[in-house]
Structure 1
């Protein structure tokens, strides 16, 4: 197994300030509701919801807010009418982009995202023109500092023995890639071997990547930043090679 996977993507991560915390909590709550709607309200039986709950806790979302977001998926009073979306686009120098989000007004979101793309020289693609190059994967994160008694070789051997599909070392951390149905099992095997993990997550893996020029990479970072700042957008994935 190679220590460097094709998972690396350009993803804009916003710093959490008091001014942005409300918007961030709103996005996290929407993700909880979406996961509960798709797979049921019981985290024990819904791996995606379990990951979303752990993610919410890691950002300090209050317990009552988490419970309320999950209840919205059940219907009745206060039910959430939002729906998921996955848009495909071409970015600078032909880079492929997937835009994943949740909205209560698809027409509004579509128009606003189209404007963001146009302002950055990008455009929506035909359905399937981008998605073919991506597949859904699970991710488990391992940090060196969380398992100080294990050597790097021991961590990587544990990752392989746990049944990971691939992994990538990023400084003092490892991004462990799994098939979506195996994420929790891989995480449990790592924990059983003495390797602590962060909360799992799910995302899209680019099968092939392309290299961008310095100008193209700068333009892409600007675009993904603008997209990620949109309230309805949860994640942005590309097939750009890291700089």
Structure 2
């Protein structure tokens, strides 16, 4: 029995690891597709695509998957024009949600998005119904920490790094968390700031446009559980590119 139990535990652990890896591949594919749609499929001319592809390669995402994600963004090979469309909605507890989709059939996607919201306690609204509560920003994420540094050394190093970053033209704000340092810019200055960071030898983990909420809400109990189910359903939907909320 112990042998069976050990094998079962290995299977469960491997299943969780595979699921986590598949989730990472899905997120990276969406990032690659979005970058290719926005700036074209040439990584030498599209810095956001180059960064997304580098992140995908770092986690051993297959080359075929990467190319398919690029082709999906550019429409190459499919013969079908992909259209970007966003939906604004209210979720459980009055939370604001924006869902960015990439689709070859707007009517199908609209119907299926509405079904997901209706099934999970939400309502799709008209354009502008919640968009006023979000501001588009550019964000660049870097992680300058060294594995060999003590916490106090790392903090001192990060403080110096932040001061250096704030001197870069186009940087609007800098925030630090456990995942690294987030640098905020105006949307049009994202590429310029990213290039400036690379010129200073910073390793960029991510560079993207985000929808940042102006006012946030906190949910608890049943409403929080309902919101989680809704967000998971939206994230699992094939046409979804990004889901933005004002959850605090």
Q: Quick one: structure 1 residues 194 and 89, their matched pair in 2 at CA, closer, same or farther if it must change by over 3 Å?
A: same
In the alignment, which residue of structure 1 is the partner of 2:178?
Answer: 171
TM-score by length of 1: 0.75
In the alignment, which residue of structure 1 is the partner of 2:235?
Answer: 228
What pairs up with 1:144-183 in 2 under 5 angstroms?
144-146=144-146, 151-162=157-168, 163-171=170-178, 173-183=180-190
Shift of 1:236: 0.9
Shift of 1:125: 1.0
Shift of 1:96: 0.8
TM-score by length of 2: 0.74
What pairs up with 1:182-197 in 2 under 5 angstroms?
182-197=189-204
Question: Using the alignment, how far apart are the partners of 1:116 and 1:144 within structure 2?
Answer: 40
The answer on whether the counterparts of 2:85 and 2:100 sit within 8 Å (CA) in structure 1 is: yes
Q: Which has the higher helix share?
A: 2
C-alpha root-mean-square deviation of aligned residues, in Å?
3.2
1:39 aligns with 2:46: no
Q: Quick one: structure 1 residues 44 and 216, their matched pair in 2 at CA, closer, same or farther if it must change by over 3 Å?
A: same
Q: Which of the two has higher C-alpha Rg?
A: 2
Shift of 1:233: 1.2
Shift of 1:80: 4.2
Which of structures 1 and 2 has the larger relative contact order (alpha carbons within 8 angstroms, sep 6+)? 1
In the alignment, which residue of structure 1 is the partner of 2:83?
Answer: 83
| Secondary structure of 1:129's aligned partner | coil
The answer on whether the counterparts of 1:29 and 1:65 sit within 8 Å (CA) in structure 2 is: yes
The CA deviation string for residues 159-216 of structure 1, in whole angstroms up to 9 with x for no partner, is 3122422232223522222222222332333344454331322221122323434543
Q: Quick one: structure 1 residues 61 and 92, their matched pair in 2 at CA, closer, same or farther if it must change by over 3 Å?
A: same
Which among 221, 224, 228 is matched to residue 217 of structure 1? 224
The CA deviation string for residues 100-149 of structure 1, in whole angstroms up to 9 with x for no partner, is 12222322222222122112211101111111222322221122535857
Gaps of 5+ in 1: 1-14
Question: Using the alignment, how far apart are the partners of 1:217 and 1:233 within structure 2?
Answer: 21
Gaps of 5+ in 2: 1-14
For this pair of structures, how many residues does the alignment match? 227
Question: Using the alignment, how far apart are the partners of 2:71 and 2:143 within structure 1?
Answer: 33
Q: Quick one: structure 1 residues 31 and 160, their matched pair in 2 at CA, closer, same or farther if it must change by over 3 Å?
A: closer
Question: Using the alignment, how far apart are the partners of 2:174 and 2:69 within structure 1?
Answer: 32
